[in-house]
Amino acid sequence: MSRFSFRYYYILLSVLLLLSLIISARVGAVNISYEKIFAFLGLNNASYSNIEEALFWKIRIPRVILCAFVGAALSVSGTLMQALFRNPIVEPGLVGTSSGAAFGAAFVFVMGSSINAAFANSVGPFLLPLFAFAGALIATLTVYKLSNVFGKTNVNTMLLAGIAVNALANGGTGFFSYVARDPQARSITFWNLGTLSGADWNAVYLVGISTIAGIVICLQYSKSLNALLLGEDEAKYIGINTERLKLKVILINTFIVAMATCIVGVIGFLGLIVPHVLRMIKSGDNRFLIIASALLGAIVLNLADMVSRIIVAPSEFPIGIITAFVGAPVFLFLLIRNSRKQHKGGFYA
Amino acid sequence: MLSAQGIFFSVHDKNILHDISLRFTPGKFHAIMGQNGSGKSTLLRILAGSEKASSGKVMFNDKLLHHYNERELARQRAVLSQHYHISFPISVHDVVMMGRYPFFKNAPSQKDKDICKQAMQLMQVLDFADRDYNTLSGGEAQKVMMSRVLSQVWECDESNACILFLDEPVSHLDIRFQHQLMQTAKAFCNKHLTVVAVLHDVNLALKYADELLFMKNGRLTYNILPHQLNETILEAVFDMRVKMKQVDETLVVYTP
């Protein structure tokens, strides 16, 4: 455990986040020079065209900011789920939250116009977030209930239940892309691999507000989540109403993941790696983890998105593939190390 | 203080506890003993409030135990369990500070920090306050957890009587620390703390406990004072031959 205070890390990560935002805003199908970026921000008076300015404010900046919020949402969600399941190998992709949200969103993609017609367009723009949240909540609660045997979380059952629920949700999403008309289907497929290409200011507001609200509320529970480290009975003994805590955290967590997922699709493994790295370099205190994983998650996803825009420019690569290529090996490494820790020696281990 | 009336507890039609009634004396050290699987830990969990009895009631200060909210109860009752598994790195100091969680909202006050430090000093774990809990030996971990529950009942006094449950608190400790832990618990009894400990070492219980409770097959078979203990009772409880003998000032239980 290092000697630098939490504040030192917050400042360092904030500076890195700012840098990654600026670098990320520069690259893409059209590169914008730093001079021009500073000119757009009114910091110098380099010359630029109106098209470049529009591209910067209407496409690049919303995308970069959305990316930061999504990264924060998924990483904080990973932190919360790991605290709740009391296990370091949990993340929203594994316990069904993301695929549940994806299923709800795919449903709206294909059936949205019919549902809207039935409710005389009264639900309108809230339809997508609403169904994504419902799908995510059902999937998460199912896995959580199945993996909790006699008040203890059984990790094997959790992973298996996660596989089953993910398969079911993915099957449902597949069904919708099969029955969908062509453009809808393509958007579902691309979106199932994660993409930030749909970024606009409305998306930024939706994900930004839900993420920040979720983080601020969860910070109040960081002490209770720390208490949960000892186990559920023990947390009760030191004054925590564990049932209420679990319900609240699952609800908030599902909400922020669903809002992010319904805009950008399924992006896996970020929520697994970011809290783990922070725990290794500094502390397992959930207060620190929530704040720092929001910052680090925003940085990491911004870098991943930058890569996705560079490697096949002027086209772009699904970001979910990048996070999976990096994240899955890390997950396997953690899984192996974890099981070794649990079965030290033993003839039949 | 704490009392129980007609406690029954069963899981899957198997009776674990059968008609247990008792009343703990404030400020006294109570030792619960009995064979493995006789229901000691289950009784402890019910009295501590983490398990609900199938029937019967537990009263704490003239109020039903399950009518307390968690935080309210945690300010007067602490529990040291048998096993802890923490799957994340966490420093010893942070573990001990959890004993103060019922007393502060966001950040610990200076008083909370002082109490933690004194509790760690008492259990001699201050030297490794910054180490990761998961790297400790079984005995060290037990001392750390004891510091945590002590910091929780630290402010116990006449107007704020607390109760401390200990489930096999000395199982990993060397002989010196076994006595030290018992002496510490005993010293807290003078500050009006009521102690209820599940113990296996009859000699340790004889030396430190004020009241002895023996359980067998889910029933409370004896609730006696130490000087009332005899060979007949021990043989009935443990189903084996034992002898008792006076050595200097101490009454010793041994196997012939």
What is the rounded distance in angstroms from the CA atom of residue B163 to the CA atom of residue B192? 9
Interstrand relation of B243-247 and B250-254 (parallel, antiparallel or unpaired): antiparallel
Mean pLDDT of B162-171: 95
SS3 A221: coil
Indicate the pLDDT class of residue A1, thresholds 50, 70 and 90. Answer: very low
Mean pLDDT of A235-240: 94
Indicate the pLDDT class of residue B139, thresholds 50, 70 and 90. Answer: very high
By percentage, how much of chain A surpasses pLDDT 90?
Answer: 34
- Closest to A236 (Cβ–Cβ): which among B50, B89, B132? B50
Sheet-wide strand order for B29-34: B77-80, B163-167, B194-198, B29-34, B211-216, B219-224
Q: Which residue of B has its CA nearest to A232?
A: B50
Q: Do B73 and A239 touch (CB under 8 A)?
A: yes
Strand partners, B167: B198
Indicate the pLDDT class of residue A342, thresholds 50, 70 and 90. Answer: low
First to last CA, chain B: 40
Task: Give residue-wise pLDDT tens across range A70-112.
Answer: 999 999 999 999 998 888 888 888 888 989 998 998 888 888 7
- Using alpha carbons only, give the angle A308, A310, A314 rounded to the nearest 5 degrees: 100
SS3 B170: coil
Mean pLDDT of A129-152: 85
- Using alpha carbons only, give the angle A246, A252, A253 rounded to the nearest 5 degrees: 85
Residue of B98, B109, B147, B154 best to disrupt the A interface, most CBs of A under 10 A: B98
pLDDT at A46 over 80: no
What is the rounded distance in angstroms from the CA atom of residue A138 to the CA atom of residue B187? 53
Question: Mean of the per-residue pLDDT values for chain B?
Answer: 93
Mean pLDDT of A41-49: 77
pLDDT at A177 over 90: no
- Closest to A238 (Cβ–Cβ): which among B90, B99, B130? B99
- Residues A62, A199 contacting (CB under 8 angstroms): yes
Angle between helices B138-152 and B110-122 (to 10 degrees): 140
pLDDT at A228 over 80: yes
Question: Mean of the per-residue pLDDT values for chain A?
Answer: 84
- Residues B42, B203 contacting (CB under 8 angstroms): no
Residue of A155, A221, A238 best to disrupt the B interface, most CBs of B under 10 A: A238
- Residues B123, B143 contacting (CB under 8 angstroms): yes
- Residues B24, B163 contacting (CB under 8 angstroms): yes
Question: What is the reported pLDDT for A338?
Answer: 66
Question: What is the reported pLDDT for A347?
Answer: 43
Question: What is the reported pLDDT for A151?
Answer: 61
Task: Give residue-wise pLDDT tens across range B179-219.
Answer: 999 999 999 999 999 999 999 999 999 999 999 999 999 99
